[in-house]
A and B are shown apart, each in its own frame.
Chain A
Amino acid sequence: MTTSNKELSSLQDAKYYLALSKSLPDAEVLDEVVRSFPEHAQELTEFAIDLALDAIGESGEAGLASENNSPAVSRAISRFHNRLYVERKAGSPPSPPSSSQTNPFASMGRDELRTFARNINGNLPFVMKLRDRQIDADTIPEDFTRLVSKELDVPLDLVVAHFQAPAEIRHSAHFKSDEKPEANLKQGFEEAVRNSGLTLEQQAFLLSS
């Protein structure tokens, strides 16, 4: 790597560089970035292809935005407050909270979470509740805990400890920053199954475990 390449500190920065260089990316800028990150050539090329396709026919700003917050915007604001709470709690300067020591899901990306969801006949929202310990451990069936242990390929004790730990708050719980998140926000297993957008078949499978 050259000195200038060191400044391109991450693959993510490379993607943003691609996106910001030109409204419609071209071979010149893509080749430049790929030379800096030859190990990520395929990822960057595929990203550039999606960027280019997305930019076709674009004339400027998007259409009118609502003057009221949609549910999606409200939930995003909740995520902001949740994360802000965690960042403040962690002190200044802010840094990402980490429970990776005990959370067997901590290192999993979304694709891995999706795969895991399929393997347990669940879906992503349900798995995120498991990841963020939003389900009361006492209500989780033992067979289901064993299934999670098997699919995650981690010791059963670790999964039990994870479920019994306080709720993880940084990702998807919905409350304002002035409301301290507590473990008692945890749902029962059945409630979590019923309220995760699972199909009836998936619910039946999970509740039969």
Chain B
Amino acid sequence: MALPALTKRYPNGNIYQRPAQIESAIVNLLEEDVEAIANRANIHNVSDPDYVPSECIVHLIRAARRRDDELAMTALLPPLLRRCESILISKISQDLPNVDEIREEVLGQLSELFAADGGGDNPDKLDFFETRFNLAFRALRIDILRAERIQAHSSIPTAFEDEDDSDSDDEFFTRLSKEFHTPPSQEKEFVLKQIQQAIYRLPPAEREAVVLCCILGYEQESDDPKKRTAATICGVTGKTIRNRLRRAATRLSQFKELIQ
């Protein structure tokens, strides 16, 4: 049984496609009644054979929306939202003063996407959620968080732009970058979360330099004037980027031993 194709397109014009295992799982779910699917949607252990991927639940709610099946929508939306809430609880820092409001807004906006699916300015936005739910939900969450976030007060003093031209700690950042790009063990995951929080607390300019160079992989600067580098993106010299990285390395020095 062929499922209706998604309509959202990549920049190159290709249409987004559900992963094959998601298509297969949806086809199997169509054989079940909605109550059984709703019960399975409450399973959160991904290794459970009855676990239903969130992408499938999105598809089924959208299909119910199209045929105006209130019963199915009402049965399937709550378990999906509960999954999302658990993600929000783990991903949005309790330190934010308006954390409850932000979580509620994310859940509310996601809910409204289902209600408005097929219309408005972006009628197929939920295609993203049928393709890779967790990544799409991250995009939604971060977009809202960016708009809502109140800059947390750093416990670390704000930096100033000195004119010192000593080298950044390239070895430290090389190791850090390697850690960021390696699937973490449980122990490493804990350490990386600590580093993540420390990077969040860096002064914005230093945080930007660290992420651009160590996570996104930009060069600090380049002789090629057309090349995007951390320096061109931040609109500063390579020397300033190096200074920011050096200061950030000092602030993150407590983690040096942990990532060796």
Contacts and interface: CB of A to CB of B under 8 A. Distances in A.
Judge: A and B partners, yes or no: yes
A59 B44 contact: no
B111 A79 contact: yes
B120 A80 contact: no
Given A16-B139, A65-B86, A72-B104, A27 B180 contact: no
Contacts, number: 215
A32 interface: yes
Q: Which bracket fits the contact residues of B?
A: 35 or more
A63 B186 CA distance: 14
A83 B138 CA distance: 23
A7 B122 contact: no
A27 B90 contact: no
Interface string A61-82: 1111111011011011101111
Interface string A126-152: 000000000000000000000000000
B25 to A, nearest CB: 16
A91 B190 CA distance: 50
A54 B91 contact: yes
Given A53-B215, A124-B101, A19 B135 contact: yes
Q: Which bracket fits the contact residues of A?
A: 35 or more
Contacts of B207: 49, 53
Contacts of A28: 217
A19 B136 contact: yes
A24 B135 CA distance: 10
Contact of B145 (A16, A20, A50, A66): A50
Interface stretch (A92-100, A153-161, A182-190, A199-207): A92-100
A96 B115 CA distance: 10
The binding surface of chain B is classed by DSSP as helix
Given A80-B115, A94-B118, A109-B147, A61 B11 contact: no
Given A24-B180, A27-B218, A4 B13 contact: yes
A173 B255 CA distance: 47
Interface of B: 8-13, 16, 42, 44, 46, 68, 70, 73-74, 77-79, 81-83, 85-87, 89-91, 100-101, 103-104, 107-108, 110-112, 114-123, 125, 128, 131-132, 134-136, 138-139, 142-143, 145-148, 180-181, 183-184, 186, 188-193, 195-196, 199-200, 207-208, 211-212, 215-218, 228, 233
Interface of A: 3-5, 7-10, 12-20, 23-28, 30-34, 36, 45-67, 69-70, 72-73, 75-77, 79-84, 86-88, 93-96, 109-111, 124-125, 172, 177
13 contacts: A16-B128, A17-B11, A19-B138, A24-B180, A54-B91, A57-B184, A59-B189, A61-B44, A64-B44, A72-B107, A79-B108, A96-B120, A124-B101
Given A63-B89, A93-B118, 13 more contacts: A7-B11, A8-B9, A17-B11, A24-B180, A24-B215, A26-B216, A51-B142, A53-B215, A57-B184, A70-B85, A72-B107, A76-B81, A83-B112
